[in-house]
């Protein structure tokens, strides 16, 4: 932790803040959301449907973006215009709608079991937000304790390996990138993030670290780890919190665009001379 804060200070917090704000202003717009899975949240107007679409989109946000888009379009397409209502009334007959639907590590059974879990949650708590709030304590240092309780409440007793992969528990030490991504979408509120959950402090969010964020955060001096895990995500978050204490995950979407839209791989490419982070990239 001390090393991270030292590295951030060495890069000059004020300078980094200005650069990240510039990236936020450049990329943090709805027109840049596709092909991000977040796009599926905005295909709905009701909060209940947006929340469910966001959860499913985040949980299956692994693999190539084209595959993710195709799968989520098929999954949500079977659930109709009101996916929350569909889940609340999910029945044995509805399971037939998904009998040919699979996605990479996840079988049809995994998908159906996840939908069944969501049905029970909605009928008991009314929303995923209410389930999350049941385990949330504003005095916690960050969102992790509540996130762990949230995942455990969603995890069925007969948990399959595929469902265990989808419902990643922070207690296991993984980055839980997809879970923290969903929480970013739900808790932050701007042109990109939906901000459906109004009572949770966004300063407690943890960075959803994927390959792009891991690489760029290392370039910025926010971590020096070769292995990306939950500890790395917390170090990155600590560095970002030094730059923006009230909203440390504000720059996540914009930084990802450098990887996704500008094809940054940490090696030279045609965008490098124009990259705002070039001065940090050795």
Residue 232 C-alpha from the chain's centroid: 16
The pLDDT score that the predictor gives to residue 264 is 79
Convert the pLDDT of each residue in 25-60 to its tens digit. 999 999 999 999 999 999 999 999 999 999 999 999
User: Is residue 226 helix, strand or coil?
Assistant: coil
In this predicted structure, the answer to whether residue 181 has a pLDDT above a threshold of 50 is yes
> Comparing 180-194, 223-237, 260-274, which segment has the lowest mean pLDDT?
260-274
Q: Within a 10 A sphere around the Cβ of 15, how many other Cβ atoms? A: 12
Helix (H, G, I), strand (E, B) or coil at 143: coil
Q: Per the omega criterion (within 30 degrees of 0), is the bond before 56 cis?
A: no
pLDDT at 22 over 60: yes
Mean pLDDT of 110-134: 97
Contacts of 101 (CB under 8 A, 6+ apart): 71, 74, 75, 78, 108, 111
Instruction: Enter the DSSP assignment of 40.
Output: G
**Whole-angstrom Cα Rg for the chain:** 19
| Cα–Cα dist 54/98, whole Å | 19
In this prediction, residues 128-155 reach a mean pLDDT of 97
Q: What is the DSSP letter of 273?
A: G
User: Which residues lie below 8 Å from residue 61, measured CB to CB, with a gap of 6+?
Assistant: 37, 68, 178, 181
| CA separation for the pair 26, 77 (Å, rounded) | 32
Copy the structure tokens of residue 201: 């402090």
pLDDT for residue 141 is more than 90: yes
Strand partners, 30: none
Provide the whole-model pTM: 0.93
DSSP 106: B
Answer whether 278's CB lies under 8 Å from 21's CB.
no
Q: Is 252 left (phi over 0), alpha (psi -120 to 50) or beta?
A: alpha
CA pair distance 135, 34, nearest whole angstrom: 32
| Average pLDDT of every residue of the chain | 92
Specify the DSSP class assigned to residue 103.
B
- At 63, phi and psi to the nearest 5? 105, -170
């Amino acid at each position: 932790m001390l090393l991270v804060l030292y590295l951030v200070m060495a890069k000059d917090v004020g300078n980094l803040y200005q650069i990240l704000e510039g990236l936020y202003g450049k990329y943090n717009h709805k027109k840049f959301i596709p092909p991000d899975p977040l796009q599926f949240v905005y295909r709905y107007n009701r909060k209940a449907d947006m929340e469910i679409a966001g959860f499913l989109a985040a949980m299956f946000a692994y693999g190539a973006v084209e595959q993710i888009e195709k799968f989520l379009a098929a999954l949500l397409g079977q659930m109709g215009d009101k996916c929350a209502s569909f889940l609340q009334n999910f029945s044995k007959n509805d399971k037939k709608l998904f009998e040919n639907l699979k996605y990479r590590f996840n079988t049809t059974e995994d998908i159906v079991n996840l939908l069944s879990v969501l049905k029970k949650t909605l009928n008991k708590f009314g929303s995923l937000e209410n389930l999350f709030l049941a385990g949330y304590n504003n005095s916690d240092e960050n969102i992790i304790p509540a996130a762990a309780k949230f995942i455990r409440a969603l995890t069925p007793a007969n948990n399959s390996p595929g469902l265990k992969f989808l419902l990643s528990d922070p207690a296991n030490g993984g980055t839980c990138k997809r879970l923290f991504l969903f929480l970013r979408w739900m808790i932050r509120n701007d042109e990109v993030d939906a901000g459906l959950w109004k009572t949770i402090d966004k300063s407690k969010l943890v960075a959803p670290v994927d390959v792009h964020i891991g690489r760029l955060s290392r370039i910025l001096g926010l971590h020096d780890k070769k292995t990306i895990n939950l500890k790395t995500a917390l170090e990155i978050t600590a560095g970002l919190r030094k730059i923006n204490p009230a909203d440390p995950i504000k720059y996540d979407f914009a930084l990802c665009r450098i990887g996704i839209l500008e094809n940054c791989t940490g090696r030279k490419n045609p965008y490098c001379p124009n990259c705002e982070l070039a001065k940090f990239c050795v």
